[in-house]
Structure 1
Amino acid sequence: MGQDKGSRDEGSQGEVPEGKGYLLDNRQVEAGTRFDALSALFDASTFRHFETVGIDEGWRCWEVGAGGPTVAAWLADRVGPRGRVLATDIDVSWTGTAAEGVEVLRHDVARDEPPAGPFDLIHARLVLVHVPDRAAALRSMVRALRPGGWLLLEDADPALQPLICPDEYGPEQELANRLRRGFRHLLQQRGADLAYGRKLPRLLREAGLVDVAADAYFPIASPACDVLETATVHQVRDKLTAAGLATDEEIDRHLAHIAAGRLDLATSPMISAWGRRSSEGGAC
């Protein structure tokens, strides 16, 4: 799943009480590995959706919960020197050296006022599924759109396809799926909505956006899936064992299976939904 602040993965915003924050702490060294794997898995799909809404030179773009630098850099290249790209997150330490034309700002999308706009395009990937006040974050983004501007939200839906090994044909795959159930349990304890992705089209319509459409994408058996799962397990292994959801021996066995290339690992479906603020300004 997705980026957080002093506890954040690509796209996750909103402060919660100590011990209940986002599960995949960005202060851990594995966070950078996860960002790279998420980029390898999903950037091409994200960029395809940018093309769908017709991003052009001179556009003003807000990348919410930016995490790593790749998406903001692509936007900056597309909008050119006449455009503007603002990349925000609660923890901006993983954005690296911002590409030319990218402005980086520490910002909490659920609590802070929207940054100065309006924007032609606002994008958030793997953000809202983890935000405690998702409704406030969505309202903030819609308010920041110019009339005719586009909002593109992309969030995972682990409840729609919960298996990390869809082809569960043996004990190694069963173990992987059992550890994935433990991971989902930990996410739910911290307030993640594991069925949020499927709600996005409806939520965009309810927010007053028009021309709403959506699709879904999830890789199966990509090398980047192996990298992502390995980094994720390393990040949460102490929490899995502390909660009695797995033993160290089971986790070591699972990691060895990944390293040996014996698992066809998948991701949760990524639901991408996009809509346009009416030129009459009807969005709430």
Structure 2
Amino acid sequence: MTTTTTGTGTPASSPGHYTFDNANPDAEQQVRLLAEILDGHTTDVLAREGVESGWTCLDLGAGAGTIATWLAGQVSPSGLVVAVDQDPRHIRTHQLIDVRIADITVVDLGTDVYDLVHARLLFMHLPQREDLLRRAAAALKPGGVLVVSDWDCRRLDEMLLRSTTDVAEAFLAFQTALVGLAVDNGASADWANRLPLAMLDTGLVDVTAKVHNELWRGGEAGCLLHACNSRQMEAALLSRGVTAEQLAVLREGMADPATVAWSYPMVTAIGRRPEQ
């Protein structure tokens, strides 16, 4: 069974916060859609890193727990996966997953502990991202691998390829407001582009990176995620100037099979801690 431990709590003065709330009624659908959109890419990358039985892995900001569960299958029967999240309610129990409830920005990750550290759609949201990168690198055993994936949110006007004019206008207004809200909360729209150099500056070696994207049609996971995000963040979006009519048009467009859209480009960077 999964064991759940509690890490260091969030200090009152901690700057920035994660924009989305796992307790929101739409959060379960959101993390499920994210897994459907991204898990194939993530597991392909991790498989090429040779995750094997007996490894100890750390999954930061584990979300739905699907990657932690995949890793548990790879390290079985003698390995362990530690999944850290401030609200891990969507992570299913597994005998090889140790769920730790903690504020990732301050929790002690240890030193020389893990064969693999993984994080997806986490660093971009945290103003302490560079400090966390250093701590994640230090948590690796010598020769261990760090895999970080984040969305590049700089080209919002290039995402929607085909739809009506009304949907296109609503889509861009929604994306601009959503990314603006995230940035106000401490996120970085261009962090993914800087991620490989940040890994090198941290002292990691053999750093590589790739950009992943997929095309989605209305009614598919990549479009339904936008509709889901619009519901989860509706009050904040309205306060930022997006109208209720625009949100309704957006949701209708994201369900229309005639709509064609890219996801945000995902940058996945991989680095290794030097052997000692």
**TM-score, reference length from structure 1:** 0.87
The question of whether the paired residues in 1 share the 8 Å contact of 2:227 and 2:250 is answered with: no
Aligned counterpart, 1:228: 225
Match of 1:53 among 49, 54, 60: 49
Aligned counterpart, 2:188: 193
Counterpart CA distance in 2 for 1:19 and 1:146 is: 30
Counterpart CA distance in 1 for 2:78 and 2:183 is: 43
Aligned counterpart, 1:68: 64
- Give, as a single letter, the amino acid of the residue that structure 2 aligns with 1:187: A
1:110 aligns with 2:110: no
| 1:159-190: CA deviation from partner (whole Å, max 9, x where unpaired) | 15554414477332232122211212211211
Comparing 121-130 and 23-32, the one that deviates more: 23-32
User: CA RMSD for the aligned pairs?
Assistant: 2.2
Counterpart CA distance in 2 for 1:22 and 1:193 is: 12
Counterpart CA distance in 1 for 2:187 and 2:107 is: 20
The question of whether the paired residues in 2 share the 8 Å contact of 1:163 and 1:180 is answered with: no
Aligned counterpart, 2:81: 85
Identity %: 27
1:219 aligns with 2:214: yes
Counterpart CA distance in 1 for 2:155 and 2:140 is: 30
| 1:84-109: CA deviation from partner (whole Å, max 9, x where unpaired) | 111111111221x3223111111222
Aligned counterpart, 1:10: none
Match of 1:39 among 28, 35, 38: 35
Number of positions where the alignment pairs a residue of Structure 1 with one of Structure 2:
266
Counterpart CA distance in 1 for 2:225 and 2:164 is: 22
Comparing 25-34 and 168-177, the one that deviates more: 168-177
SS of 2:233's equivalent in the other structure is helix
Match of 1:121 among 109, 116, 126: 116
Match of 1:146 among 141, 145, 167: 141
The answer for unaligned runs of 5 or more in structure 2 is: 1-8
The question of whether the paired residues in 1 share the 8 Å contact of 2:156 and 2:176 is answered with: no
Comparing 44-53 and 112-121, the one that deviates more: 112-121
The question of whether the paired residues in 2 share the 8 Å contact of 1:15 and 1:21 is answered with: no
Report how far residue 122 of structure 1 moved: 0.3
The question of whether the paired residues in 2 share the 8 Å contact of 1:110 and 1:140 is answered with: no
The question of whether the paired residues in 2 share the 8 Å contact of 1:173 and 1:263 is answered with: no
Report how far residue 116 of structure 1 moved: 7.1
Match of 2:125 among 122, 126, 130: 130
Report how far residue 29 of structure 1 moved: 1.1
Counterpart CA distance in 2 for 1:278 and 1:104 is: 28
1:203 aligns with 2:198: yes
Comparing 44-53 and 219-228, the one that deviates more: 219-228
SS of 1:24's equivalent in the other structure is coil
Counterpart CA distance in 1 for 2:210 and 2:66 is: 22
